[in-house]
Amino acid sequence: MDVLAKIMGERLGDVAEARRRTPPEALRKLAARRQHHSLRARLEVRGRTHIIAEMKKASPSAGLLCADYQPVEIGRAYAAQGAAGLSILTEPRHFLGSAEHLMAVRATVGLPILRKDFLADPYQVLEAAAWGADVVLLIVAALTEPQLVELHRAALALGLEVLAEAHTEEEVERALQLNGVIIGINSRNLKTLKTDLEIARRLARCIPVERLAVAESGISRREEIVDLEGRGFRGFLIGEALLASGAPGGKLRELMIAD
């Protein structure tokens, strides 16, 4: 089964219910009070490794990652060890995430936060701003060209930054058409869930040197980060390697510091 298509369909169905519970006007009032924390500004700083540390209780590929999932404690540990930002899953079925996780971390940690979810409707972008996120993820493979443009515009209108995620050369080209976005290269095929870092190595050549690029998925060792930094990546989105270690903060520090 195409896992990406399945989850996107579920999340689109969730939007209708969310609109009934919370009208857009209520979200706009909350979004207007949001204070921005720029992930782009952090990634532009030279001379250090930038890791966007992910927070999720489970995943379709690995199952339950953290039985005693304490988002605030994990977020504080990531911040203490120098994370450039946080990626927080809000998808409820397969990753066991929620809006409450993001909002609780936002109230206690001052790092840039990416809302990691499967977005296809501008209402979801508005939710992200209302909950206190700074960045939204747009999965190029899951979106038509009109949807991609619409969601990008919605994010910019709310002062949010965008991470546009690609898995193929064609998807990289589509992402590059969006002005100002951070390009994410996901080495996990979201249709099959298989991971191969050769995808990041190959697609690095498709990204102009002036564009910020982040490598996502499949990274678990410091030498992999060093290799990908040498290929032009300015940041790394890492989740399972941190959470499955049993000591997310300690594993983050291990990945950031050279031997």
Which positions are annotated as active-site residues? 54, 56, 116, 165, 186, 216-217
Looking up tokens 């998807």 gives: 171
- Coil, strand or helix: which one is 49? coil
Closest by CA position to 43, among listed 177, 232, 240: 232
User: Any idea which residue has 């508005």 for tokens?
Assistant: 126
Radius of gyration of the chain (CA): 17
The phi and psi torsions of 12 (rounded to 5 degrees) equal -65, -40
User: For residues 87 and 81, is the Cβ–Cβ distance under 8 A?
Assistant: no
Hey, CA dihedral for 115, 118, 119, 124, is it positive or negative? negative
Q: How far is CA 75 from the centre of its chain?
A: 14
